[in-house]
Homo-oligomer: A and B are copies of this chain.
Amino acid sequence: MDQDFINTLLLTGKLAGWTTIILFIIGFPVAYLLAYKRFPLKPVFEALISMPLVLPPTVLGFYMLVAYSPQNAFGRFLEQHFNTRLAFSFQGVLIASVLFSLPFMIQPLQNGLTSIPKSFRETAYTLGKSEFTTFIRVLIPNMIPSIITAAAMTFAHCIGEFGVVIMVGGNMPGETRVASIAIYDEVQAMNYQAANQYSFILFIISLLILTLIYSINGKKKIFF
């Protein structure tokens, strides 16, 4: 295995890892609001969060590319004040990836929250526990499968991300050349052997990680 190949895998893992971490932080509060609170226009809000599910990655990629361009307000702002350009950079791909994976985190978490009987929350409240304590001590431990699903789907979806990256990434080794792009590239160049090597390694790694997750998850039942 050559260095390029390893770098590409590391980069892919880095992108997926960061996206998952950032979405964990965003995802829990948002899912909580959606699951338990009522507010006006909630369905529209929910729909907006789910948009990346339905929108082709190329649409998102296109709009990101336009936004990042120094010719437009946002891109110019970043360029002038932070001297950064997001297009063709890891950060740029990361932002796109966070946006794009949002519903993969939110949906399972929200589902998990709504399927916990209301009386658990009510009991905790009467015991004087704050919403936050209740969330940490009662809700989270009773929705472990949903949390695992959310994390796995998000991480996984990022590893598989292709459309957005090919539009805003520019195929820069070490920055934006993630595994999916690398494989595409090798296939287009008809380097089937290299494509095979990438694919096979990714296949094995994925299979191992997932088997591990499911073995652990299978032992615990939903309600312990």
Which A residues fall within an 8 A CB radius of B? 42-44, 46-48, 50-59, 61-63, 65-66, 103, 107-108, 111-112, 114-115, 145-146, 149, 152-153, 155-157, 159-163, 166-167, 178-181, 183-184, 187, 192, 195-196, 198-199, 202-203, 206-207, 209-211, 213-215, 218, 221-222
Contact of A50 among B44, B192, B210 (CB under 8 A): B210
Tell me which residues across on chain B come within 8 A of A210, comparing CB atoms: 46-47, 50-51, 54
CB within 8 Å for A160 and B65 given contacts A43-B215, A114-B222 = no
Closest to A160 in B: B56
Please indicate which of the listed interface residues A51, A55, A61 has the most CB atoms of chain B within 10 Å of its own CB.
Answer: A55
Closest to A186 in B: B62
User: What's the nearest-Cβ distance from chain B to residue A146, in Å?
Assistant: 7
Contact across chains for B63 and A199 when beta carbons are under 8 A apart = yes
Contact across chains for A48 and B111 when beta carbons are under 8 A apart = no
Contact across chains for A62 and B159 when beta carbons are under 8 A apart = no
Tell me which residues across on chain B come within 8 A of A215, comparing CB atoms: 43
Tell me which residues across on chain B come within 8 A of A54, comparing CB atoms: 155-156, 159-160, 202, 206, 209-210
Tell me which residues across on chain B come within 8 A of A178, comparing CB atoms: 56
Please indicate which of the listed interface residues A52, A160, A221 has the most CB atoms of chain B within 10 Å of its own CB.
Answer: A160
Given the complex of chains A and B, what is the CA–CA distance between A58 and B47 in angstroms? Answer: 28
Tell me which residues across on chain B come within 8 A of A46, comparing CB atoms: 210-211, 214, 218
Please indicate which of the listed interface residues A146, A178, A192, A199 has the most CB atoms of chain B within 10 Å of its own CB.
Answer: A199
User: What's the nearest-Cβ distance from chain B to residue A56, in Å?
Assistant: 3
CB within 8 Å for A180 and B115 given contacts A62-B195, A195-B62 = no
CB within 8 Å for A156 and B50 given contacts A43-B211, A65-B187, A218-B43 = yes
